[in-house]
Amino acid sequence: METRQLGNSDLQITPIGYGAWAIGGAGWEAAWGEQDDGEAIEAIQAAIDGGINWIDTAAVYGLGHSEELVAKALKGRANKPYIFTKSSKLWTEDRKVYSSLKSVRKEIEDSLRRLQTDVVDLYQIHWPNPDDEIEEGWAEMAKLKAEGKVRWIGVSNFNVSQMERAAKIAPITSLQPPYSLVERKVEAETLPYCEQHNIGVIAYSPMGAGLLTGAMTLERARNLPADDWRSRSENFREPRLTRHLQLVDILKAIGEKHGRTAGEVAIAWTLRLPAVTGAIVGARSAKQVEGIIGGLEFRLSADEIEQIEAFCRTNP
């Protein structure tokens, strides 16, 4: 199985990792709707059995529930994957989410308890908010690494100037940005910066939050439940929605030549750049894992990449 070194760390990760955002379930502001816990556990185990060697979760996913499910899925397993989680998004008793970088130490203790582990392989600042607390939060992250509570430290959703501020305090192992065929903002400045400074990149939502899987339709997008955050996303509304689904037709056509899904083609596109170390791929059931596990090995030819890019140039 191919693995890639993540930035300045000793972590050798598979090209795709399991993303545990959606399995957190309903009842919080960035939820994907209701989720069956049994199916979530089966999805995690199927991903690991398929060769994926890292799981990316966060404290805020399901307000702690995602981390708890990861622990249940891994209990008793000999071949445990790397565990990545995040800080800085907290919640009140009435389930309102807020941001703070002043409670990083308490957050890791809570995450370690929910994950039922003594150490996290990669601990990340989830969002650079509040901006004026970045230095304080990153300094505490560096202390946690020095103390051995976490092995490596990274950031998520940071821009270049924010990474430069953090790097003055301690080296950054990785950046986790959104990156897909429907979200390409990091190509201009962020990805080149990471490549130049040996910062690993683990891209999230490489399938556009399910938009590029081949399973999304106009009708389904229009009828997403109110407790699914995607119902409020511009990418799932007109005029963008029709454009994106036309792109999916191209991904499907390319995939059919290789016996791959549109989602696997979308993942392969994300992984085409040397700057991208890995892609975080979510799945809410073992069946969904079947539709993405090929992303471990499937790669696009130069002609196939150009076919996709030609559509994007014509339909920006």
**Predicted local confidence at residue 31, as pLDDT:** 87
Residue 33 clears pLDDT 90, i.e. is over it: no
Three-state DSSP state, 265: helix
List Cβ neighbours of 220 (8 Å cut-off, separation of 6 or more).
Answer: none
Q: pLDDT tier at 1 (50, 70, 90 boundaries)?
A: confident
CB 5 within 8 A of CB 46: no
Residue 38 clears pLDDT 90, i.e. is over it: yes
Strands 278-282 and 200-204, by their bridges, are parallel
Q: Which residues pair with 125 in a beta bridge?
A: 87, 155
Query: Stretch 263-275: mean pLDDT, rounded?
Result: 97
Query: Stretch 290-312: mean pLDDT, rounded?
Result: 96
Three-state DSSP state, 213: coil
**Predicted local confidence at residue 116, as pLDDT:** 97
Which has the closest alpha carbon to 126: 172, 170, 85? 85
Tell me 139's DSSP state. Answer: H
Predicted confidence (pLDDT) per residue in 99-154, tens digit: 999 999 999 999 999 999 999 999 999 999 999 999 999 999 999 999 999 999 99
Residue 44 clears pLDDT 90, i.e. is over it: yes
**Percent of the chain, pLDDT > 90?**
90
**Predicted local confidence at residue 210, as pLDDT:** 86
List Cβ neighbours of 262 (8 Å cut-off, separation of 6 or more).
Answer: 212, 213, 214, 248, 251, 252, 255
Considering the domain delimited by 4-214+274-298, tell me its CATH architecture.
Answer: Alpha-Beta Barrel (3.20)
CB 204 within 8 A of CB 231: no
Query: Which runs of E-coded beta strand occur in 109-253?
Result: 120-125, 150-156, 174-176, 200-204
Three-state DSSP state, 118: coil
Query: Stretch 192-220: mean pLDDT, rounded?
Result: 94
Give the Cα separation of 12 and 151 in Å (integer): 13
Three-state DSSP state, 7: coil
**Average pLDDT for the chain:** 96
**Out of 16-25, 104-113, 129-138, 223-232, least confident range:** 223-232
Residue type at position 242: T
Give the Cα separation of 14 and 271 in Å (integer): 11
Predicted confidence (pLDDT) per residue in 173-191, tens digit: 999 999 999 999 999 999 9
Give the Cα separation of 137 and 129 in Å (integer): 10
Give the Cα separation of 225 and 232 in Å (integer): 10
Residue 219 clears pLDDT 90, i.e. is over it: no
User: In terms of C-beta density within 10 A (0-12 exposed, 13-18 middle, 19 or more buried), how is residue 26 classed?
Assistant: middle
Annotated catalytic sites, by residue?
A: 61
Which has the closest alpha carbon to 269: 203, 209, 222? 203
Tracing tokens 């060697």 back to the chain, one arrives at 53
Three-state DSSP state, 4: strand
Predicted confidence (pLDDT) per residue in 51-68, tens digit: 999 999 999 999 999 999
Give the Cα separation of 133 and 169 in Å (integer): 13
Predicted confidence (pLDDT) per residue in 248-259, tens digit: 999 999 999 999
